[in-house]
Structure 1
Amino acid sequence: MDVQMKKSLLWDAFDELRKTWGVDERILENLDYGEEETVDGIPQSWAEKLYEIKNKYQLDDIDFLFIVGAAIGYYQGQKNVKDVLRRKISTVNEFVSSLIPNK
């Protein structure tokens, strides 16, 4: 397999991950949800999907390692955004609560 074909294959696999696990309103609505059990830094459901992608794209171990690393980075980025949003919402809630008189 030439370099361009391998690069295209890896991008296709990563795009599938990104579309599957993209941030949407449900993440924002579920800020107080407990975290899913993780396997080596990613949720268990993601780990299962990674194996499906490995088989679908017939990735060798090195290519699979690349995709796993990208998935972990992607998940950690989403988690950091969620934490920032959680802190901002908490700050806004505290401010609004301070404006409303207690009876």
Structure 2
Amino acid sequence: MGSIKVGQYARTSDGIVFIQGLCGGSYQAVRTDREEEREYLASDLTPWKPQDGDRVTEVGNEYSPIGIVVEAGAEQALVAWKSLLRHVSFVNAGLEPVWTD
């Protein structure tokens, strides 16, 4: 298990969070599904990587379509993009979770 860093995503027991800061041993994070801010201990977080069924977008591309991870691997994920007819293999480091409203 890798270490969690500010500016990265992590999984918790009940969702995905974006790590905004670290203060006094607790991570300040915001949930991607309801923009709720909360503190977590390192033991409550696992570095995020795509899992089957995750909704994802391309990192750094504000116009990226939303895709669904069909098959997640250690380094790459097979993604079904809404605007493409075929699934595309994508490097995990190039993906991030979708923020929902």
Fold conserved between structures, TM > 0.5: no
Structure 1 or 2, whichever has the larger Rg, is 1
Q: Of Structure 1 and Structure 2, which has the larger fraction of its residues in strand?
A: 2
TM-score (norm 1): 0.22
